[in-house]
Amino acid sequence: MIKTVFVTVLILVLPLLFLYWKNLLQYNRVEKGVSSLAFILSSVGLFLLVFFLQVNFSLEVLQNPVPYIAHLHPFQGEVYIYSTILSLLHYESVETVSLESVLHGFTGVSMYHFLEFWLGSLFKLVFNAKSDIVLFFFVYPVFKAFTLLTFGAVLAGVVKDRVGYVLVGILLFCFAVFGFLWITAPIGKIHLRDMIMLPILVLVFKALYDREYEVALFLLCTATVEYILFLPALLLTTAMFWTRLERKSMWVLLGFLVGYVLFYILFQERVENKYFHTDYMSVLYSFISLEKLKELYRVLLMAFLTYPIRIVLAFYILHSFETLRARKVAFDAAVWMVLFFVGYHIASALMGDLSLDAWQLKQVAVNLSLVAFLFVLYHLLAKRQYAFCIILILFLSDYKFPFEKISFEEEYSIELESKLASISGSKPVKGFFIDENLGLPEKWALFYYPTHAVKYARANDYRFYLFNYDIAYLKESIDNYPPAEKNILNNIIYPLFPTEVEVLQNARQNDVSVIWVSKKSKYLKAFVEKKPLYDLGDYLVYHIK
């Protein structure tokens, strides 16, 4: 087995930095800068602003932050998964999303975005805080503040007077507090993947806009290391601007792609794939099927009927009006944006039979529409057409979010959390989740298999793994999903334990100390002589010593 501790794909960024350092320094000299002290102060100020903005400036969050997590991220399954990944990285130093590795040992790294989790782990080294607190009250505000800084820096670079700077401030305020109708939620409500994508998309497009193709290539290579969804954008950029790239970049790109593939060949974990249906021939045949053509038509139709494409086309027309009037097409940043938007929608449709996460490609395209809106304002600011900027901001600012009431999570037992914490101490806890009558309520299987997401995992800092014990009905319920999703789910979900063996014997063999069992389960009879640790309504929690 290849040792996986401290193995990270982020290592590929170092040679990229070495090779493109001069290009970055030269590009940075062209931009209008600020002093280091001003940058630090503005960064800290934005962090504090975002921190309190995302909880409606409630000071109570400083005393009791846990109830606010449901407001910041209402998807309990993702709170569990993200926090568990952070704890695995921090305590085991392994980049993995495969929780079954806790049972069988870590065999490699997952293809996932880990930069934010390394940042969270660094914070945990300094402060004794649990992973959910670190993630949502440190990592989230850091990325959100960086997004605002990026937007502000790009717009401020074209401003030439005080009125322009005031308008940039108003725009950032509207983005932070209101969001923009049909384009994006306010900064306090955007998702983790969006706050990673947006600054990168802005910086890449700014480099292309300035015809700094080497810088754009470096940024896209770096972005691909963090998030594989940027790989199509990297290939599109290379294909469009091939003749404008330095000869060095051809070899760098080739070396990068080879290194990227080799890394995952050498270090990919030996578990069932979490993302892809691996029957590649059947997927290939689906690409040329009538059903796929219908899906492609539906996705493209929705892309052209919804609002984001209008923003992209508005920027294209604004940027390329003279070229269009001359009935010509120039392969520039504006064309790149249109091809990016359409291409990612096509990729989303094509990849639908291969991955449950194919929808994220479409989300990248939607995020690009915010970049288009930003550069529409960039054009107007450059021409000092401030009235048009104000009109756009007034039309598109969404005024409902500042008045949104914070709803707190109910039915959380501090007593159960304390009991589970006393059982675990500082060690990971393995358990069984037993409810053989529970099907798969949604296609996001990672919330229910291999472990069942429970909010009480925070008792020992998300090192609490409730493995789904009997998945017979869960497997059966997969038949209710569309064929493409059914094939993927059947590929990644399989029994982890031999249910013909008595449940307590399985618990001993797998070093299980907590069993979370439904009151309607046929397995409950095995615990008649044991006293429950806690009665949680529909479930009983047992501690197996």
Q: Dihedral angle at the C-alpha atoms of 160, 152, 205, 352, nearest 10 degrees? A: -150
Q: Say yes or no: 423 and 383 in one domain.
A: no
DSSP state letter for 451: B
Task: Give the tens place of pLDDT for each residue, 33-80.
Answer: 566 777 788 888 889 989 998 888 888 888 888 888 888 888 888 999
Q: Say yes or no: 527 and 426 in one domain.
A: yes
Contacts of 365 (CB under 8 A, 6+ apart): 303, 308, 340, 341, 344, 345, 348
Q: Say yes or no: 373 and 438 in one domain.
A: no
Structure tokens at 496: 């982890």
Task: Give the tens place of pLDDT for each residue, 110-140.
Answer: 888 899 999 999 999 988 899 999 999 999 9
Domain stops at, among 87, 107, 126: 87
Tell me the average pLDDT across 250-256: 93
| 371 burial type by CB count under 10 A (0-12 exposed, 13-18 middle, 19+ buried) | buried
Contact 378, 185 (CB under 8 A): no
Task: Give the tens place of pLDDT for each residue, 408-422.
Answer: 766 788 899 899 999
Q: Say yes or no: 381 and 472 in one domain.
A: no
Cα distance between residue 264 and residue 243, in whole Å: 30
Supply the range of the domain harboring residue 437. 414-543
Q: Say yes or no: 445 and 373 in one domain.
A: no
Q: How many CB atoms lie within 10 A of CB 508?
A: 10
Q: Say yes or no: 374 and 306 in one domain.
A: yes
Q: Say yes or no: 433 and 500 in one domain.
A: yes
DSSP state letter for 271: S
Token pair 């009125």: residue? 163
Examine residue 462 and state whether it is found in any structural domain, yes or no.
Answer: yes
First to last CA, the chain: 32
- The conformational region for residue 245 under phi > 0 = left, psi -120 to 50 = alpha, else beta, is beta
Domain stops at, among 404, 425, 460: 404
Q: Could you tell me the pLDDT band of residue 264, with boundaries at 50, 70 and 90?
A: confident
- Residue 277 pLDDT more than 60? no
Contacts of 244 (CB under 8 A, 6+ apart): 211, 213
- The pLDDT > 70 percentage for the chain reads 93
Domain stops at, among 57, 87, 117: 87
Q: Say yes or no: 418 and 502 in one domain.
A: yes
Q: Say yes or no: 464 and 361 in one domain.
A: no
Concatenating the DSSP letter of every residue in 148-178 gives: HHHHHHHHHTT--SHHHHHHHHHHHHHHHHT
Q: Give how far the C-alpha of residue 403 lies from the chain's centroid of Cα atoms, to the nearest Å.
A: 26
Give the 3-state secondary structure of residue 90.
helix
Give the 3-state secondary structure of residue 94.
coil
Beta bridge partners of 429: 464
At 35 the pLDDT is 67
- Residue 283 pLDDT more than 70? no
Range in 197-206, 263-272, 335-344, 534-543 with the lowest mean pLDDT: 263-272
Examine residue 43 and state whether it is found in any structural domain, yes or no.
Answer: yes
Contact 136, 38 (CB under 8 A): no
Range in 115-119, 132-136, 200-204, 484-488 with the lowest mean pLDDT: 484-488
Contact 270, 105 (CB under 8 A): no
Cα-based angle 516, 72, 419 (whole degrees, multiple of 5) = 30
Examine residue 97 and state whether it is found in any structural domain, yes or no.
Answer: no
Tell me the average pLDDT across 446-474: 92
Examine residue 519 and state whether it is found in any structural domain, yes or no.
Answer: yes
Per DSSP bridges, beta strands 514-518 and 539-543 are: antiparallel
Token pair 């969270």: residue? 120
At 279 the pLDDT is 59
- Residue 31 pLDDT more than 60? no
Beta bridge partners of 268: 109
Cα distance between residue 426 and residue 320, in whole Å: 60
Contact 156, 32 (CB under 8 A): yes
Contact 76, 453 (CB under 8 A): yes
* Integer Rg of the chain from CA: 25
Q: Say yes or no: 392 and 448 in one domain.
A: no
For the chain, the domain total comes to 3
Examine residue 483 and state whether it is found in any structural domain, yes or no.
Answer: yes
Contact 466, 433 (CB under 8 A): yes
Give the 3-state secondary structure of residue 397.
strand
Range in 83-97, 264-278, 385-399 with the lowest mean pLDDT: 264-278
Task: Give the tens place of pLDDT for each residue, 239-249.
Answer: 999 989 988 89
Concatenating the DSSP letter of every residue in 41-55 gives: HHHHHHHHHHHHHTT
Q: Say yes or no: 447 and 400 in one domain.
A: no
For residue 450, cis peptide bond before it (omega within 30 degrees of 0): yes
Tell me the average pLDDT across 473-491: 87
- Residue 375 pLDDT more than 90? yes
Cα distance between residue 99 and residue 203, in whole Å: 35
**More confident position, 52 or 352:** 52
Q: Give how far the C-alpha of residue 492 lies from the chain's centroid of Cα atoms, to the nearest Å.
A: 20
Range in 51-65, 263-277, 329-343 with the lowest mean pLDDT: 263-277
**More confident position, 263 or 74:** 263
Looking at residue 20, its amino acid is: Y
Q: Could you tell me the pLDDT band of residue 18, with boundaries at 50, 70 and 90?
A: very high
Half-sphere exposure (Cβ direction) of 267: Cα atoms closer than 13 Å: 20
Q: Say yes or no: 437 and 475 in one domain.
A: yes
Q: What is the 3-state secondary structure (H, E, C) of 332-353?
A: CHHHHHHHHHHHHHHHHHHHHH
Range in 1-15, 214-228, 387-401, 462-476 with the lowest mean pLDDT: 1-15
Examine residue 170 and state whether it is found in any structural domain, yes or no.
Answer: no
Cα distance between residue 462 and residue 424, in whole Å: 11
Q: What is the mean pLDDT of the chain?
A: 87
Examine residue 521 and state whether it is found in any structural domain, yes or no.
Answer: yes
Q: Could you tell me the pLDDT band of residue 1, with boundaries at 50, 70 and 90?
A: very low
Closest CA relative to residue 12, chosen from 279, 232, 226: 226
Examine residue 260 and state whether it is found in any structural domain, yes or no.
Answer: no
